[in-house]
A and B are shown apart, each in its own frame.
Chain A
């Protein structure tokens, strides 16, 4: 049973703070993804990674960076949080190859005040 976990369910930060969101998967998946989910906009891809130390920009990378030092862990970093980054953040992972199914974490509801 695939398990994707995220470090926090709820997080409240102040404008300008540096924020770290952590995601861990236990299925040895090569690919990992960070999305943000906003009402009426669906899930938008921020960054993704196909391998350790590898990262690719998604559709909305501005204001974010990522780190993947170990295969099972993918971190999303907000260098200087802003109120427009208040959102639900979802991590996902999948295996490299023909199966594209992505397994999602429970999400982190981030509020920036």
Chain B
């Protein structure tokens, strides 16, 4: 089955700096890679996703890149703000099921 590894587990950034979270997956048939954000005490919500037929996707301050050959994908947050503080989960789809990474706790300090 699919195995998704996510790094780092915690990330502390200064407000205004960039944050990068990296994930690797094992199933070469995976074709959909979402990122979920979970604020403290709230439910996970989709913030951006990418399909295997594109290499990069951007939405305002967040972007995701995908390298199919190397089987890794990354989330980039630019100009970080305090409201970006949350746990971020990457995921990959395999046989119709999402396999999630372990999560990255992002803390944005003023």
Contact = CB atoms under 8 A, between A and B. Distances in A.
Looking at chain A, what size class is its interface with the partner chain?
20 to 34
Contacts of B96: 50
B43 A100 contact: no
B67 interface: no
Contacts of A35: 100
SS class, residues of chain A in contact with chain B: loop
B46 A101 contact: yes
A107 B39 CA distance: 13
Contacts of A45: 97-99
A93 to B, nearest CB: 12
Contacts of A104: 43-45
Interface string A81-113: 000000000100000000011101111000000
A90 B89 CA distance: 14
Contacts of B97: 45, 48, 58
A105 B44 CA distance: 8
Interface stretch (A12-20, A36-44, A66-74): A36-44
B9 A101 contact: no
A42 B6 contact: yes
A75 to B, nearest CB: 19
Interface of B: 1, 6, 9, 32, 34, 42-46, 49, 89, 93, 96-103
Interface of A: 4, 35, 40-45, 48, 50, 58-59, 90, 100-102, 104-107
